[in-house]
Amino acid sequence: MNDFFKKTIAGLATIGILALMYLGAFLPLRKSQLYIRAMVDVQSGKVRTLQNFIDSFYPALDFYSPVGQDEVVSYYAGGILPTLMDSVADQPGGPQIIEALLQDLDKWIEPIIKSGKGFGFSQNLYNFGNIYYVAAEKLNSDAYLQKSIDFFNEGLKSSPGRDLFFEGLFRDYQLKGDKVKMREIGDIILKHWPDSEEIRKAMESL
């Protein structure tokens, strides 16, 4: 093999290694740094308005990385967003703020659901179901309640024996006032997890 081909192969290999480092290391690191910075903004009291919140979190959520998008969206939906919704729901303009944030959340959730895979896919489904339960409770929304039910049912397809999904469905039907479904789900929970005292108490009151 002559020197030209050796140098060409070496050059292509170097480019490939740099590309892998960029995609597999730099971009995920940068995404995680943006999310951590947003969390620091919250903890330091810098986030006081909706615009502050958007300016802090949306850069991390929108930043492209082939690794880490699912985790960041799930952490956001499962942690910071429910807390924010709880704090603004009863304030003037609160319901409109929640609606706007959930519309944006949908665009980040959709690709995750379409992929239908990932190490934490089951947990993602739970977090998404839970955030829509919170929204349904705060806004008295049947549409959001149905989305929560759909996510928990999808979660049971992914993890059939996971108690969190059954408990989520029980809460959903409790909020909906559907006693028939509450009994159905409650019986399953108590059969497999008889120590679920909260569910047992709720079932006794039916």
Tens of pLDDT, residue by residue over 66-111, are 778 888 999 999 988 888 888 888 888 889 989 999 999 999 999 9
What letters, b where the CB count within 10 A reaches 16 and e where it falls short, cover 11-20? eeeeeeeeee
Pick from 21-25, 145-149, 162-166: least confident: 21-25
How much is the pLDDT for 199?
93
Residue 117 — pLDDT band, cuts 50, 70, 90? confident
Residue 1 — pLDDT band, cuts 50, 70, 90? low
- Mean pLDDT along residues 104-133: 90
Q: Which residues contact 2 (CB under 8 A, 6 or more apart)?
A: none
Q: Which residue has the tokens 């928990």?
A: 152
Q: Give the CA distances from residue 5 to residues 9, 10, 18, 103, in Å, rounded to whole numbers and listed in that order.
A: 6, 8, 20, 53
- Mean pLDDT along residues 56-60: 90
Q: From CA 202, how far away is CA 206, in angstroms rounded?
A: 7
User: Closest Cα to residue 144, out of 81, 203, 61?
Assistant: 81
Residue 2 — pLDDT band, cuts 50, 70, 90? low
Query: What residue segments make up the domains of the chain, in order of their start?
Result: 3-160, 161-206
Model confidence pTM above 0.95: no
Does the pLDDT value for residue 48 go beyond 70? Answer: yes
Q: From CA 32, how far away is CA 96, in angstroms rounded?
A: 29
- Mean pLDDT along residues 7-33: 53
Q: Which residues contact 75 (CB under 8 A, 6 or more apart)?
A: 35
Q: From CA 197, how far away is CA 206, in angstroms rounded?
A: 15
